[in-house]
Amino acid sequence: MHRDRFYTLSASCPDQVGIIARVTGFIAQHGGWILESSFHADEVSRRYFMRIEIKADSLPFLLAEFRERFGKEVAEPLAMDWRITDSAVKKRVVVMVSKQEHCLYDLLARWQSKELDIEIPCVISNHDAFKGFIEWHGIPFIHVPVNKDNKAAAYAEIARIFEDVRGDTMVLARYMQILSPELCDALAGRIINIHHSFLPSFVGAKPYHQAYERGVKLIGATCHYVTSELDAGPIIEQDVIRIDHSDAPEDMVRYGKDIEKTVLARGLRYHLEDRVLVHGNKTVVFR
C-alpha cells in the first residue's frame, strides 16, 4: 500500500472499444499519476470492470470536482456504474457479534495494530458477554437484544444506530441472527458476513456437523455480502483446509475458526480497498 494519499476509482460499464482510453485519457489530461490499475472484461455478460489508483496531489482539483467532471465527460457517455474514494478518509466499520469471539478478537487485533486502518464507531451484540472487553478497547458497546417477538424493532434500532454513527460497512463477526430483509436491502453491498462453510454447500446452522455427516475431505469458510436470501449473497473470498476420517465435528469447528478469521479479514480488506465490484450475484475481486 502506498504512503501517499490516493484516490481509488472503481467502475463497470457495458464492454466497448475505447474504455481504457477514455478513462486514462481523462486522468492524463489533468496530469493525474496512475499508481495501480486493474481491468477485466467479462465475455459472458459483455461488461467491463476496472479499478485505478490515482495519486491525489497529481491532480489540479479536489475530489468533488473530479466527481463532477468525470461523471459528465466519461461516466455518463459510457453508461458507467462507478465510485471514487479517498485514502485519507478512514472507513467506518460497525461490528456485529453474538457469543463466539474468535473473529471479533482477530478484527480488533488487526484494528489495534493498524493492519486494518479503519474506525470502529461501535460494536453491536444481541448478548452482553463482550461488553467489558469491547469497552476496554475504548469502543462503545451497544446491546440490542433480539428474540422472536421483537425482531422488527431490533433491526430498526440497528439500522438507526448504523446511520447515527455514520457507518460505511457492517461486519457480521459470527453474528448468529438472520437480518431482516429490510435491513439487507437498505444496506445492500455494505453488510459482510463470514459463514463457517465453503458455500454453497452446508448453508444455515451447524455446517461443520453437516460436513461431518456428509464425509467431506475439505472444509472451508466463505466471506460474502449479505442479502435477504440466507447465505446466498455475492461471494468475496473463500478458503479451505483438508480433514480426514479421524476428525470429529469438534475438531472441524476448531480448524474452521482459523479459516474463518483469515477469510473474513481478507474479504473485509478487499471491500475496504474498493477491490470488489458486484455484478448480479457474482463479484470481480482485484487482488
Is residue 206 located within the same domain as residue 266? yes
Please choose, from the candidates 13, 12, 5, 11, the residue with its C-alpha nearest in 3D space to the C-alpha of residue 33: 5
Looking at 86, 231, 244, 274, which residue is catalytic?
Answer: 231
What tens digit of pLDDT does each residue of 92-151 get?
999 999 999 999 999 999 999 999 999 999 999 999 999 999 999 999 999 999 998 899
Same domain, 105 and 77: no
Report how far residue 65's alpha carbon sits from residue 49's, in angstroms, rounded to the nearest whole number. Answer: 23
Q: Are residues 77 and 98 in the same domain?
A: no
- One domain for residues 106 and 241: yes
Please confirm, yes or no, whether 4 is among the known catalytic residues: no
18: alpha, beta or left? (left if phi > 0; alpha if psi -120 to 50): left
Question: Is residue 216 located within the same domain as residue 260?
Answer: yes
CATH code of the domain covering residue 65: 3.30.70.260
pLDDT at 207: 83
Average pLDDT score, the chain: 94
Residue 157 in any domain: the answer is: yes
Of 275, 237, 236, nearest to 259 by C-alpha is 237
The percentage of residues in the chain with a pLDDT greater than 90, rounded to a whole number, is: 84
Residue 1 forms part of a structural domain: no
pTM for the structure as a whole: 0.94
Which residue, among 85, 67, 86, has the nearest Cα to 76 in the 3D structure? 67
Based on the structure, what is the number of domains in the chain? 2
Q: Which of 20, 55, 86 is the last residue of a domain?
A: 86
End-of-domain residue from the set 86, 102, 127: 86
Give me 186's grid cell: 437498505
* Domain range enclosing 47: 6-86
Tens digit of pLDDT for each residue in 183-237?
Answer: 999 999 999 999 987 877 877 778 888 888 889 898 889 999 999 998 889 999 9
Is 14 within a domain?
Answer: yes
Distance CA 165, CA 33 (A): 34
> pLDDT tens digits for 2-55?
578 999 999 999 999 999 999 999 999 999 999 999 999 999 999 999 999 999
